[in-house]
Amino acid sequence: MTDAQKWRQIFTLLKLAEMGAHKRTAKVSTEYLAEKLGTSQQTASRYLIELEREGWIERSITHDGCLVRIDAAGTVELQKIYNSLKFLMETAYPPSVTLEGIVFTGLGEGAYYIGKDRYRKQFIEKLGFEPYSGTLNLRLSSDYDIKARSELEAYPAVEIEGFRNEDRTFGIVKCYPALVNNKVKGALITALRSHYDVSVLEIIAPVCLRKQLNLKDGNKVKVEVLIVP
Amino acid sequence: MTDAQKWRQIFTLLKLAEMGAHKRTAKVSTEYLAEKLGTSQQTASRYLIELEREGWIERSITHDGCLVRIDAAGTVELQKIYNSLKFLMETAYPPSVTLEGIVFTGLGEGAYYIGKDRYRKQFIEKLGFEPYSGTLNLRLSSDYDIKARSELEAYPAVEIEGFRNEDRTFGIVKCYPALVNNKVKGALITALRSHYDVSVLEIIAPVCLRKQLNLKDGNKVKVEVLIVP
DNA sequence: ATTACTACTAAACGAGTAC
DNA sequence: TGTACTCGTTTAGTAGTAA
């Protein structure tokens, strides 16, 4: 089944549900369904046949219409769309923000901060992974990316608490779970220190991103930041 | 715009929303969108053009992708589907039950009961119309219709309180708002008395249904009973 | 009344490609 | 890189009609 077909079918399921076929066996003539769908009787008939083959509805044909009931599998499809829409419409934040930046070599300070045990423990606890001892530095190039990054500040983040040891104070770190180049799970971290400006991203991950993704300075990297309300 | 087109577009809107385009301007390449849609880059491009023409998205093209934001009109479309699904999935009852029956002439007792002032006042108050002084009697023919009618008992109804006068007791009446032959608003009423069995429907409406719909004994009538939780 | 087949028409798709 | 045009191919839609 192609995606286009799938969506026609989900639309048909929705119309059948509006006739109550998700709660009870409803009598539906192909002519009536056709009217609701804005299509011909023949097409409505074909849709019902497809839905039946797909196992999304149960159907029996009588002399004056079909008795149709949406099956468990069909209900699941409607529920999926509902859940997705519910999340999108009820949540104040976008589900994700995608940023792109160019790899560059930093001063190696990332490793120093990430190495601090009080940070490490929290990374493991709150992000679910032990970070590789180094950060991947990305420079944002476009206005879009810089704007998108600044919008992130308003969205909820995983907060890593600061602390102080005998020498100095280590500040709070805001983390955003992220997917790097559609492949590797990691996190964007901010405010570790203020050496870099808003056009720089620092990424941590359980593995060495440069090795894992075969990255060199100057390569473009996509970071899909996941907002977790 | 045909309905098939409309549904492709709503599907596309949903995917764009999953990229956050309903909350912010998102950078989306046609190639990336194509992948999410399960279609070709060319088709994705066409969809975006159509959505823009429709006024559902705002778009500006940059050298490395489109900046896309779902417009108010587009959000409304998503909201419509969401509201519809929300109602269907969160409600324990089907939105409506459609019954078909054959017109026959009753004993004229309907007029007597409906004429009672204590009933009339409640009909006006709770159903929103003053019933024509007579009921349309329908005989259910198929097993499906009789089964569907019996299911109605479990669904919420508008309840008209009983009363007693000097002579006798008048019982409670359950009403279900209904649309007769897709045209006239009225109500299915039950338990006015027990003269008729489960295979008989009594319908009231603000007008004389026989005249309004030009009905004769033996005509088939469709009654779409609306469940109002 | 219905459903749904066949044969045809209309529309959507996507490969190639220009920009 | 991108987007989006043309145009041949594929797919969906419908009219007519049988069952």
Strand C contacted by A5 CB (< 7 A): no
Of the pLDDT bands very low, low, confident and very high (cuts 50, 70, 90), residue B5 is: confident
Find the mean pLDDT for residues B99-128.
91
Average pLDDT over residues B58-83: 95
Q: Write the DSSP symbol of residue A215.
A: -
Is residue A122 located within the same domain as residue A32? no
B17 and B35 in contact (C-beta within 8 Å)?
A: no
Residues B114 and B202 in one domain: yes
- If asked whether residues A44 and A12 sit together in one domain, one would say yes
The CA distance from B171 to B191, in Å, is: 8
**Widest CA span of chain A, in angstroms?**
87
pLDDT in tens, A124-159: 999 999 999 999 999 998 999 999 999 998 999 999
Segment A99-113, tens digit of pLDDT: 999 999 988 888 888
Query: pLDDT tens digit string along A56-83?
Result: 999 999 888 899 999 999 999 999 999 9
Q: Do B11 and A8 touch (CB under 8 A)?
A: no
Q: Does residue B229 belong to the interface with chain A, where contact is any CB pair within 8 Å?
A: no
Min Cα separation A54/chain B (Å): 19
For residue A33, give its domain range: 3-89
Q: Are residues B85 and B100 in the same domain?
A: no
B192 — pLDDT class (breaks 50, 70, 90): low
CA angle A21, A27, A30 (to 5 degrees): 100
**Closest CA relative to residue B18, chosen from B7, B28, B30, B3:** B28
Nearest nt to the B2 alpha carbon by C1'? C11
Contacts of A59 in chain B (CB under 8 A): none
CA-nearest residue of chain A to B85?
Answer: A82
The pLDDT assigned to A194 comes to 60
Measured from Cα to the C1' atom, the residue closest to C5 is A42
Same domain, B131 and B204: yes
Q: Domain boundary at B67, B89, B111, which?
A: B89
Helix, strand, coil tally for chain A in percent (to 5): 40, 30, 35
Q: Are residues B12 and B124 in the same domain?
A: no
User: Residue A196: what pLDDT?
Assistant: 60
Q: What is the mean pLDDT of chain A?
A: 92
Asked if strand C contacts B154 at the CB level, meaning under 7 A, the answer is: no
Q: State the Cα–Cα distance between residues B153 and B173, nearest whole angstrom.
A: 12
Residue finishing a domain among A33, A65, A89: A89
Q: Is the same domain home to B69 and B168?
A: no
What is the rounded CA–CA span in Å between residue A51 and residue B105? 42
Claim to verify: residue A186 and residue A116 sit in the same structural domain: yes
Boundary (domain end) residue, out of B49, B67, B89 = B89
pTM: 0.89
* Contacts B100 to A, Cβ<8 Å: 27
For residue B15, the model assigns a pLDDT of: 96
Please answer whether residues A182 and A174 qualify as being in contact, where contact means their C-beta atoms are separated by less than 8 angstroms: no
* A112 shares a domain with A68: no
Minimal C-alpha gap between B85 and chain A (Å): 6
For residue A39, give the nucleotide whose C1' atom is nearest its CA. Answer: D13
How many angstroms is C1' of C14 away from CA of B46? 11
Tell me, yes or no, whether B31 and B64 share the same domain: yes
* CATH number for the domain harbouring residue A34: 1.10.10.10
